[in-house]
Structure 1
Amino acid sequence: MTAFYVSFILLSSICIIVQGRIEYKNEFNLFPYLNKSWIYMLDENNNPVKAYFTLPQQYKRIKNLEESVDFSLFTREQPNGISIVEAIELGDTSFDPKKPTKMITHGWLSSGTADTCVTIRDGYLKSSDVNVIVMDWSDIADNYFYIKPMLAVPDVADYYAQFISDLIEERKVDPKDIHLVGHSLGAHISGLVSYRLNGTKLGRVTGLDPAYPGFGYINIHGERISENSADFVDVIHSCGNFLGLMGPIGHADFYPNGGTMPQPGCHYNLLEACSHGRSWQFYADSLNNPDMPFYAVQCNEWEQFENKECNKTEMIVMGANTPTSARGKYYLKTRAESPFSMGEDM
């Protein structure tokens, strides 16, 4: 393997990886709040687990991505899904290249069969006649040592992009009809795809609380989800400056309840994990409860929103039906439980 060098400042330490050898050096904290080697997170069954911000003694880059990444197609004709290895196989399914294609992926410690993907997937099939493809990279993401899945993001994005490139070439799908939705690390994976399509830009990418560790002050890969990731990029921030990025990085950035923790309804020892997950729950709610849209107001800062200093005529909806013309920062309040929308009373 070609030698590669990564300098990583995280949780009061610098982790340097040199040809698979791990070295640690104490350093000042550039990652606020999580100034420890592990935190509690929620697994896909909502059980608390320890998530580590260090590496095991032996680090190896991910190989054989075809054995670690799975694609599944869901349509109204095939609601139970069918596994797909290559895009050309879609010719023998109910996939319709003339319909919009929604592609969903998960984040750290999750999977394509977890609530994150399933609730959004089912919401799409319920609300509109579209192709839904779930990209499952849980063989890599399901690792309590966060840094390993984090370092694998570009490789997974490459593999994802190749599948989408074949979708465009082999199945004649219009790239403008492709919409990627990703949570946490999955948001960055989704955001990197267009960079790997040789000049082809997708129609839309939605980032659900894009992961902060490794992509914030210290951006290990030098790239992440941004407004260059698609013709339209919308981002929902729900655990900003902790597990999710806080600054605006898309064409439209939404900050429910200020965009950081604790989100309403999140309590006790799992504030970060609960708040981090609120982003995908809000998005799923926008699909599953269409009669209760998330109205958001364009504003510069949360304090201005709270003081009612924003122009309410600049109001749009957050979630699946966000208009692609939206630009800027938007704020709103939500309820503590689903349905989370407060309607116009927010």
Structure 2
Amino acid sequence: MAPQRTPVLLGVLAVFTLLVVGVEETPRGAECSDLNNITWQEYRQQRVPLQVRYLLLTRRNMDCAHMFSHQSLTDTQQPAYFNVSRPTKVIVHGYRAIGSKPSWVKQLARALLMAEDVNVVVVDWVYGASFAYNLVVENYKEVAVQISVLINQLNKHGCKLESFHFIGVSLGAHVAGFVGTLFQGKIGRITGLDPAGPMFKGADTYDRLDSSDAQFVDAVHTDSDYFGISIPVGHVDFFLNGGKDQTGCARSRFPSMLVYFPVYGYVLCDHMRALHVYMSALNGSCALTGIPCSSYEDFLQGRCVDCDAFRGACPTIGLLPNSGVRVSPVPKEQKLFLLTTSSPPFCLRHFLLQLEVSPLDKSAELEVTLTTENLGTERRLRLHTDTVLYRAVLSHPHPLCEIASIQLKNTGARFYRQAEIHVKSVCLSEFPTLRREEPLCVNNINVRRGAAWSHDFVQVCV
């Protein structure tokens, strides 16, 4: 069921200006501020008045958040850490099932500040984001209205709307989207990190994050079958490992209960992976590049290996303007796929495997392994009697020029009866690539059932 549509006009912002909660200024010498926690007694009551507070972090107070409002720009009793000439990142957390403050906020703020000299404003709406999920969803538009009051005042102080970049996690992505709606899409950018799915998948675009909410909207999907939304909601949508099950995360056995009775730990692993991948991408140690494709199945079958839809410049997760997209206008709701590892920096190289075999008498299974000196990655291919040409995507953390060997193993001894597989050719090429490296090819291979064949490559990375 979609959230009820309630018309809200920009004109109401002035009415709410004096009602913004949590705008107290931090006196000189006061302790650093932090996000709220819901007490056990408050949690049992299941109803706490909505409070929206703002914390400010900059490179001048990276480890000491200050309570913030538009009034701090003119307060002469303390340093005005907020700089209207710099871009502003606005972090919006999502649903807090047990009323705890999000522990990742400071880590994300620090990563943003290390990457760029910006203002980071953290929206604290833990009071209102806790308790039953359906009740929390009733609050998200009011939270957006209160945030819009602050943005409206900052705009009057000289901050341009296009200088704001909202980063919303889960339900926070839809809060950010409604802020964008209130400003008629003039906000510079919104990034949704696994935008919430329950009660939003079938919602009107007015009620959820979509590409009209900002000049550029990007989203990272990692749990689209449970907590996250399964449809594209931005200009570019990155679906990691298909957007559902992430490497290193155990699958829940009780999905129907997740929305109303969330269990932390492994159940949230998929959902929170988007946040951790995004924070890792901010340090720029490697590129997390998405490949445009209509479906994850087509991507895995090697049917999408270029970024011609973006004139060759593949979108990347992170802070590049428009995610690195150079075409204008930016395409909308473009699905992008990429494979990742289970730990930082999460990056993998993508390889296209092209395999030609002689006609088979019976079905077979072939295990393909790529190895470097100390690491191997594998994928299994089903071979059929009516097909001789195969394409598949493999991955490895290292580039093609560092692949030391390729191994083929006929693993069909138990379930299949094809005794020997004759491989006419197997070729490996990296994508996307600007250097247009020649593929690595080996011809005329016989792979007996239960046996492994391998070939060593002699290469040097230039």
User: Where on the TM-score scale, by shorter chain, does this alignment land: which range?
Assistant: 0.7 to 0.9
Asked whether 1:207 is paired with 2:156, we answer no
1:220 deviates by 8.5
Given candidates 215, 219, 222, the residue that maps to 1:235 is 219
Which residue is equivalent to 1:330?
336
Q: Give distance in 2, aligned partners of 1:329 and 1:221.
A: 17
User: CA-to-partner distance for each residue in 1:123-167, whole Å, 9 max, x for gaps?
Assistant: 011111111111111112132x11121111111111111111111
Asked whether 1:136 is paired with 2:121, we answer no
Q: Give distance in 2, aligned partners of 1:234 and 1:203.
A: 12
Deviation larger for 323-332 or 101-110: 323-332
TM-score by length of 2: 0.57
Q: Percent identity?
A: 29
Which residue is equivalent to 2:316?
317
Given candidates 196, 217, 225, the residue that maps to 2:209 is 225
Q: Give distance in 2, aligned partners of 1:150 and 1:124.
A: 28
1:97 deviates by 1.0
Retained in 1: the 8 A contact 2:288–2:347? Answer: yes
Structure ranking higher on relative contact order (CA contacts 8 Å, 6+ apart)? 1
Q: In the alignment, residue 213 of structure 1 is paired with which amino acid?
A: P
Q: In the alignment, residue 130 of structure 1 is paired with which amino acid?
A: V
C-alpha spacing 1:283/1:208, structure 2 compared with 1 (3 Å)? same
Q: In the alignment, residue 123 of structure 2 is paired with which amino acid?
A: M
Q: Give distance in 2, aligned partners of 1:116 and 1:137.
A: 15
C-alpha spacing 1:220/1:299, structure 2 compared with 1 (3 Å)? closer
Retained in 1: the 8 A contact 2:201–2:231? Answer: no
SS in 1 for 2:145: helix
Given candidates 244, 247, 264, the residue that maps to 2:231 is 247
TM-score by length of 1: 0.75
Q: Give distance in 2, aligned partners of 1:205 and 1:150.
A: 19
Given candidates 146, 149, 153, the residue that maps to 1:159 is 146
Q: In the alignment, residue 324 of structure 2 is paired with which amino acid?
A: P
Q: In the alignment, residue 277 of structure 1 is paired with which amino acid?
A: M
Retained in 1: the 8 A contact 2:250–2:267? Answer: no
Which residue is equivalent to 1:90?
73
Q: How many residues align?
A: 284
Retained in 2: the 8 A contact 1:293–1:343? Answer: no
- The aligned runs of 1:1-346 (5 Å cut-off) are 8=1, 63=49, 65=50, 68-91=51-74, 92-109=79-96, 114-143=102-131, 145-169=132-156, 171-197=157-183, 199=184, 201-217=186-202, 219=203, 223-260=207-244, 262-269=245-252, 272-288=267-283, 290-313=284-307, 314=312, 315-321=314-320, 322-323=323-324, 325=326, 327=331, 328-343=334-349, 346=395
1:9 deviates by 8.2
1:320 deviates by 2.8
Retained in 2: the 8 A contact 1:294–1:343? Answer: no
C-alpha spacing 1:316/1:195, structure 2 compared with 1 (3 Å)? closer
1:205 deviates by 0.3
SS in 1 for 2:316: strand
Retained in 2: the 8 A contact 1:238–1:275? Answer: yes
Retained in 2: the 8 A contact 1:238–1:278? Answer: yes
C-alpha spacing 1:222/1:193, structure 2 compared with 1 (3 Å)? closer
Retained in 2: the 8 A contact 1:112–1:118? Answer: no
Q: Give distance in 2, aligned partners of 1:249 and 1:323.
A: 18
1:271 deviates by 5.3
Q: In the alignment, residue 101 of structure 1 is paired with which amino acid?
A: T
User: CA-to-partner distance for each residue in 1:155-185, whole Å, 9 max, x for gaps?
Assistant: 111111111111111x210111110000111
Q: Which structure has the greater CA radius of gyration?
A: 2
SS in 1 for 2:192: strand
Q: Give distance in 2, aligned partners of 1:122 and 1:113.
A: 17
Retained in 2: the 8 A contact 1:108–1:149? Answer: yes
Q: Give distance in 2, aligned partners of 1:87 and 1:253.
A: 33
C-alpha spacing 1:132/1:85, structure 2 compared with 1 (3 Å)? closer
Q: Give distance in 2, aligned partners of 1:207 and 1:196.
A: 17
Q: In the alignment, residue 160 of structure 1 is paired with which amino acid?
A: I
C-alpha spacing 1:113/1:74, structure 2 compared with 1 (3 Å)? farther
1:94 deviates by 1.8
SS in 1 for 2:110: helix
Retained in 1: the 8 A contact 2:185–2:212? Answer: no
Which residue is equivalent to 1:19?
none
